[in-house]
A and B are shown apart, each in its own frame.
Chain A
Amino acid sequence: MSPTTLLILLLGLSALAYYVGRRRAFAVAGGGAGIKHLHSRPVYYGALTAVWCGIPALLLFGFWLMFESSIITHLVVADLPEAIQNLPEARINLIVNDIKNLVSGNIVSGEVDPVMQAAADHYRSLQSTSTAALAVCAIALAIIGIVAARAKIAPTLRARNVVEKVIKYILIACSTIAIFTTIGIVLSVLYEAIRFFKIIPVTEFLFGLQWSPQMAIRADQVGSSGAFGAVPVFLGTALISAIAMVVAVPVGLMSAIYLSEYANKKFRAAAKPLIEILAGVPTVVYGFFAALTVAPFIRDTGSHLGLGVSSESALAAGLVMGIMIIPFVSSLSDDFINAVPQSLRDGAYSLGATQSETIRQVILPAALPGIVGGVLLAVSRAIGETMIVVMAAGLAANLTVNPLKTVTTVTVQIVTLLVGDQEFDSPKTLAAFALGLLLFVVTLILNVIALHVVRKYREQYE
């Protein structure tokens, strides 16, 4: 029985349990008129039975599937001949991969030897045993649940309270997923990053000026030594983000000011959603736009002016990223400008200030903390933006602040190091996780500061 069928069957059983429980409740109450003697309404008895039937079985189902594959692999590896078991771990992983490919009928690398075939058959038989055992256990658990719950149903059973408590625990569990996600991110990135730092010292990573992660695959290969000094990558990220901010902050802020202070209702109603479309365009579209239209345009303009512009210049990527961030800055600033109390404006007008003087000398200073928070959030988004730079910025890690040259960013490096590469113990792959850790930490700090500032600011005028 496939897991999907089993899942559907378990859900069906729970639905059945609901009806069994409800009917039982009517029965113990002595028909429709006796309902008032029940502690809870009959649906709660039904729900209680369904809970007893479904939740233990589904938990079993989940845990089983989670650990099934690794346990079976472990068993199969333990049964392999001595000679294979003594191989280094990387080789064993390759063999396990081949066995799994044999099992699922994919193409296998190299010859299929009888040992592998035997292992694959072993794997297959273990898998079918496990699936059958899971089905039997889960269904048995579900039926026991139904029977037990049905036997417990009595007019004095406080079914509603139990069901509500269960629901509440489910709600709590759902709300903690955010915490588990954060923990998962930190652990997964940290674990691989620590492995990386065992090979490459942290100081070299953080302060080294050379970045060329291509490692020699064989020891006798020449040419690629691998250098993991990430400063050029950081500088490239900072450069592109800075260009993006130079575009996004003035344009976003000025359009927010115009929309909230000058524009009439009609203009605002038309222009605001249009600007927000910019925020809804997927980043891969911006990347394509940058690579296809903006970068060649900048290169051609540059060569007309006699400047040597690289075709993957930081300027093109930064410019397009800035366009992407405009609506972000604009809608946040709009919120903060609107939050400034009208009395401050009225005060300034009554002193004879013009509208622009009011904005510049009263409203902007009052809204400044919020706007700074918004800009910090925008910076964090620019640093973490991936597709635009992957498609429009280069791979060469040049240590330069010239926006016409090619630079690379943290996210570009993560993508190029991880896409297509499967070896998980070379520093090249692990370096991506180290960069990821850094990216996560930096954006986390920016976000925490920004969210704190924004919250403080919101409270100030409430």
Chain B
Amino acid sequence: MNNTENITPHSKKRPERTLDIVNRGLARRYRAEQRFRLYGLSAIIASLLFLSFLFISIFSNGYTTFQQTFIKLNVFFDPEHLHQESLATADYQGLVKRSLGSMFPDVKGRSDKRMLYGLVSSGASYQLRELVLKNADIIGKTQAVWVPADDDVDMLIKGHFDREAPEAERRIKDRQLAWIDQMESEGRIKKKFNRAFFTSGDSREPELAGIWGAVVGSFLTLVVTLILSFPIGVAAAVYLEEFASKNRWTDLIEVNINNLAAVPSIVFGLLGLAVFLNFFGLPRSAPIVGGLVLTLMTLPVIIIASRSALKSVPPSIREAALGVGASKMQMVAHHVIPLALPGMLTGTIIGMARALGETAPLLMIGMVAFIVDIPRGFTDPSTALPVQIFLWADSPERAFVERTSAAIIILLAFLITMNAAAVVLRKKFERRW
């Protein structure tokens, strides 16, 4: 019996084959495979989560800026205080105060009155002044005027302040709350489109601060950058790609260009400070200096992109041009550059987009000043969009958090437009030879 059992195939001890070892490990290896794949996928999901988190946090903070709270005042343009000869310097602040006072006649006492007057932005008096200067006929009449509310009121209406918090921790006190609620029930408080944000310069008062000054400053800076960096970049790329023979000198240039593309941007700011401001004595905070610094920074990007565009033009085009008797310069100017132009333009737009978002070098050359006026020329003191964001981000008022986010939304909108233009350009003109 024992013998027959021994010869059954199941229990027979067979020498182990490689396949068995492989099979034994297979489950483990497949699991490892799954795990590895999962790591990769989660890495991608993590980066996309970061991206969406970033965008959601900025948008949810910023979109409310596009509306601003206004308060309706019944202003009596008192002829007693508005004299024809001194209209520009009359006491408009007083007008605002009187109209607020007439709305709440039972408010007495200094601190209460100050609290009441604090509900309306200090920009209200300028608004009344402009009204009177534009149309002197309203003197002596009573007119309903919508004036911007103070930033704290604005924040309260938009729900960024907690009404339930203890009074000492609130920027809006209980009495003010009562007044605001009363005005709201009377329909005197309304949210309207925030025009000031798009048309005015910087201000210490969040409700009056706008980005137009920064947008103009950025625009002027980018114009200088574009005018300088595109021709110079293309010229350098053409020389290196089409004319230069390979020797030590061109090697040096190449190493330099590649290296400059990776130099921290703040170092370019130091260069601008030492060379353009201290040595050449150019004005501080001016778009022209910003443009010069950003030119040096974007040049490597444009040169590298233009060179790869030139490289992609097939040699047969060059040979054909030379074959019919064109000089080398004619061959490049008439045939190679037109064919490479879309690629060069794409590179330039991407370089410009990078220059638009750049902040650090502009800090070094003094474009961080608090500038209220809209710059009107290349040498006027100005700031730039990203620098404005940096300045506002430093401000303690809650309302500036909202403005900062809104300015970021605008900046991102510009960047997305530029990059989309680059993509469209590439799609439209890309040629495969």
Contact = CB atoms under 8 A, between A and B. Distances in A.
A164 B357 contact: no
Given A69-B281, A288-B408, A386 B235 contact: no
B116 interface: no
Interface stretch (A82-90, A117-125, A139-147, A168-176): A168-176
Nearest to B378: A4
Most B CB within 10 A of own CB, among A189, A390, A433: A390
A197 interface: no
Nearest to B54: A289
A381 B265 CA distance: 10
Most A CB within 10 A of own CB, among B47, B53, B54: B47
A5 interface: no
Interface residues of A, number: 93
Contacts of A170: 235
Interface in B337-375: 353, 356-360, 363-364, 366, 368
Contacts of A174: 231-233, 235-236, 239
Contact of A282 (B233, B259, B386): B386
Nearest to A188: B274
B44 A284 contact: no
Contact of B266 (A167, A356, A439): A439
A184 B299 CA distance: 15
Contact of B43 (A258, A356, A433): A258
Contacts of A77: none
Contacts of A381: 262, 264
Contacts of B258: 447, 451
Contacts of B40: 254-255, 257-259, 261-262
A177 B267 contact: no
Nearest to A386: B360
Interface in A425-462: 432-433, 436, 439-440, 443-444, 447-448, 450-451
A160 B329 CA distance: 10
B277 to A, nearest CB: 10
B404 interface: yes
Interface string B295-313: 0100110010000000000
Contacts of A450: 262
A188 B270 contact: yes
Interface in B403-431: 404-405, 408, 411-412, 415, 419
Given A178-B257, A258-B40, A292 B46 contact: no
Given A174-B232, A356-B32, A282 B357 contact: yes
A271 interface: yes
By DSSP majority rule, is chain A's interface helix, strand, loop, or mixed? helix
A293 interface: yes
A368 B266 CA distance: 31
B86 interface: no
B1 interface: no
A415 interface: yes
Contacts of A418: 270, 273, 363-364
Contacts of B252: 179
Most B CB within 10 A of own CB, among A175, A327, A390: A175
A175 B264 contact: no
Interface in B23-68: 29-30, 32-33, 35-37, 39-44, 46-48, 50-51, 53-54, 57-58, 61
A394 to B, nearest CB: 14
Given A175-B240, A179-B256, A282-B415, A185 B263 contact: yes
A251 B233 CA distance: 35
A440 B364 CA distance: 16
Interface of B: 22, 29-30, 32-33, 35-37, 39-44, 46-48, 50-51, 53-54, 57-58, 61, 231-233, 235-236, 238-240, 243-244, 252-253, 255-260, 262-268, 270-271, 273-275, 278-281, 296, 299-300, 303, 327-329, 353, 356-360, 363-364, 366, 368, 386-387, 389-390, 393, 401, 404-405, 408, 411-412, 415, 419
When A and B form their complex, which 5 residue pairs have the shortest distance between CB atoms, in order from nearest?
A384-B264, A258-B40, A282-B357, A188-B274, A254-B43
Given A262-B41, A414-B364, 14 more contacts: A178-B236, A178-B256, A178-B303, A189-B271, A192-B274, A254-B40, A255-B44, A255-B47, A262-B40, A282-B357, A285-B389, A289-B58, A355-B37, A384-B264
21 contacts: A172-B239, A175-B240, A181-B260, A181-B296, A181-B299, A192-B274, A254-B43, A258-B40, A274-B48, A280-B419, A282-B359, A285-B412, A291-B393, A292-B61, A292-B393, A293-B57, A354-B32, A387-B359, A390-B390, A443-B264, A447-B259
